[in-house]
Structure 1
Amino acid sequence: MRSIMHATRLHLLLPFALPSAADAATALHNLVTPALDRLVARGTLVERVIGEDFQRTLPHERWVARQFDAISPTQPAADEAPLAPYMLLADGGEPGDATWACIQPVHVRIAHDHLVLIDPAALDLEDDEAATLLAVARPLIEELGVRIEAPKPTRWYLSSDTFGSLAGASPLRASGRNIEIWLPHEAHTGERSRAWMKLQNEVQMAWFEHPVNEAREARGLPAVNSIWFHAQGVALPVRSPFAQVLSDAPATRGLALAAQAGAGSQPASFAAFAPTATAGVTLVELDPFSAPYVEQDWARWNDAFAALEADWLAPALAALQADRIGELGLTLCGDTGSVTLTVTRNDLRKFWRRRVFASLFIE
């Protein structure tokens, strides 16, 4: 495990930690977070990004991409973040200068009159199952002249000029929703890609009634019945504003690697660290909230916040008060927008600041 001992400044990135205003009453029910309350009350509001309902990427993805200058100003869609090449790099591949998209095996559920994507993490897909399904899909994909790399069993990467400027949507952006508007389309025209639909259909048919899926359904698990396309783009030269990046998200780790910054896994808690006064910002991405947020399981989301308070926020506040860290940054994200605060020891003395957590929620 990497240490953040030498970081004078710590920044916590918290995906799905910011409910919408509509969910506030339910999400905050019985939530007791005195450390968060004090940090929010005394902190300096650095940035508030409202976002839009139908952006195809997630606020934390766009925030990270902006920090590393990975979003090109010439991109046709301002909300797109070309993260697949960096994800491939984090997974052990070599993106080079090719255009890559991330492909994930998924379950699409039939609702009354539409199709709904299930959170890929909820599949509990084993590596050997994914490898078997990939072995079936690979020749079908390569027959169409598409290059495929699969350094991780459940995350594949495709490169093809045929897909041109296709825009997909992050799986968690579309999960739990009617997938119609989130399916891949040409970024310039909005039209569906026949090439992608052909590839997708070939894979779906090959997996239909496959022994892997029959065994999964016998165990009460959802079948793996489709593939999801997202994050397409070309790796741009990036720079890191962070001395060290600790995250389990492949996009975040890949950006750090591309920028030649220190990169490591998400730490278990703040307790392992003893920061000292040396220059540098450490970014820690903590993500206990995604699954309960997407599933609208606010009791579990509440429990995750209680754990975050105990493991990270209260100890970080104590370190700030004791001058063991010089600054604490917080970026809290929802599914459309994000809010960034910074807090210093001096800020904690500004008793007249009385911002409440609910004031950060995005309409």
Structure 2
Amino acid sequence: MASATLLLPSRDRFGAQRLTSDVAKALGRADRDVDNGASASARQRTRIFDILPRGWPVAAVTRQRDAGDATLGAWLRADPAYIQPDINGARLLAYGDALALTAEECDELLRPLRPMFGDSGFVIDAPTPSRWYLRLPREARLPTFNGPDEALGADLFEHLPDGPEGRRWRALLSEAQVVLHNHPVNARRASMGKSPVNSLWFWGGSTLPDHVTTAYGEVFSDDDALQAFASMAKAAAQPLPPRWGTGSGDRVFDLRHMRDLALLQSHWIEPLLRDLRAGEITTASLDFADGMRFSLRANQRWRFWRRPLHSITA
């Protein structure tokens, strides 16, 4: 017995791209479930992991995987970021892995930031060059921080924390930007045509959860957060393969980055449907971030009275 779940972006990310006849027929005959809640994308994650207390404690869980010391306090990701000013404000253009920082560059950039954050009672460090952390008191009150994926390419000021707690973190961000602006590492990076590290992105504030479990034996993803949650849930965290491949057990594949519907169908959905018909897997689910889910089984082929789905957004 084996099942497969494809985690997918919102359907509107595929625009007007067309379904192949095979996929259109299968989706037309599939069972559908719609979650229209405002936090549909957050609930998509909770269908993969059961977390107590409820939430998405990214910073603490990735810290535990990176350094093994997340029980020592509360944690906030303070990832290196590239912000580009424009006529209307500023935009987040890159962060974390996309900046391809070396360990030496990371150490140099952190050197002047340590006393700055130390004066506020926080310790900043970086177990890996792409993931930076602030260690906070366990009882620290934090505003709501948006994840960098939500803000990428958008106006920075629409994603900064607000309220009384937010004011403090906006001030700390401004101080960090001043420190980083004229850092010699950025001058060297500019001379090599690389993006500077001129800001930080605060997000994921949390303490380590008491409980993380999953029904899946394997989680395939290139997202460090999903990999960290899989590890904490004692599931095998695997890098995402380039296409569908037959396997055993219950598996989930993180395809939320995909925007090419033709590629998604040829590399993933169509071969998955072939394995479903051949009995290699018993059930499959296409789980979209906007809340739509298609549940697929081989015996749905007898639902010949159902019309093919003319559009992924229908």
Task: State TM-score, norm by structure 1.
Answer: 0.75
Shift of 1:203: 2.0
Query: Which residue, out of 294, 300, 305, partners 1:341?
Result: 294
Aligned residues with identical type, % of pairs: 25
In structure 2, the CA distance between the partners of 1:253 and 1:49, relative to structure 1 (3 Å rule), is farther
Amino acid at match of 2:45: V
Match of 1:177 in 2: 154
Whether 1:9 aligns to 2:3 is yes
Whether 1:147 aligns to 2:147 is no
Give runs of aligned pairs for residues 187-206 of structure 1, distance below 5 A.
190-206=163-179
Whether 1:242 aligns to 2:245 is no
Match of 2:15 in 1: 24
Structure 2, unpaired ranges of 5+: none
Contact 1:329 1:341 (8 Å CA) reproduced? yes
In structure 2, the CA distance between the partners of 1:151 and 1:93, relative to structure 1 (3 Å rule), is farther
The C-alpha deviation readout for 1:192-221, integer Å capped at 9, x for no partner, is: 534323432332122112222123333444
Whether 1:325 aligns to 2:276 is no
Q: Distance in 2 between matches of 1:207 and 1:224?
A: 7
Match of 2:31 in 1: 44
Whether 1:135 aligns to 2:74 is no
Q: Distance in 1 between matches of 2:115 and 2:5?
A: 44
Whether 1:112 aligns to 2:103 is no
Query: Which residue, out of 139, 155, 159, partners 2:135?
Result: 159
Query: Which residue, out of 46, 49, 65, partners 1:68?
Result: 49
Greater mean alpha carbon deviation, residues 240-249 or residues 323-332: 240-249
Aligned length: 311
Amino acid at match of 1:48: D
Shift of 1:121: 6.3
Match of 2:184 in 1: 211
Query: Which residue, out of 288, 291, 309, partners 1:356?
Result: 309
Q: Distance in 2 between matches of 1:223 and 1:216?
A: 6
Query: Which residue, out of 15, 37, 56, partners 1:81?
Result: 56
Shift of 1:230: 0.9
In structure 2, the CA distance between the partners of 1:274 and 1:43, relative to structure 1 (3 Å rule), is same
Structure 1, unpaired ranges of 5+: 1-6, 53-58, 74-79, 290-300
Q: 2:295 aligns to what SS in structure 1?
A: strand
In structure 2, the CA distance between the partners of 1:238 and 1:204, relative to structure 1 (3 Å rule), is same
Shift of 1:284: 1.6
Q: Distance in 2 between matches of 1:146 and 1:217?
A: 30
Greater mean alpha carbon deviation, residues 154-163 or residues 224-233: 154-163
In structure 2, the CA distance between the partners of 1:71 and 1:168, relative to structure 1 (3 Å rule), is farther
Match of 1:253 in 2: 227
Task: State TM-score, norm by structure 2.
Answer: 0.86
In structure 2, the CA distance between the partners of 1:36 and 1:152, relative to structure 1 (3 Å rule), is farther
Q: Distance in 2 between matches of 1:160 and 1:225?
A: 23
Alignment root-mean-square deviation, CA: 2.8
Contact 2:11 2:312 (8 Å CA) reproduced? no
Q: Distance in 1 between matches of 2:301 and 2:207?
A: 43
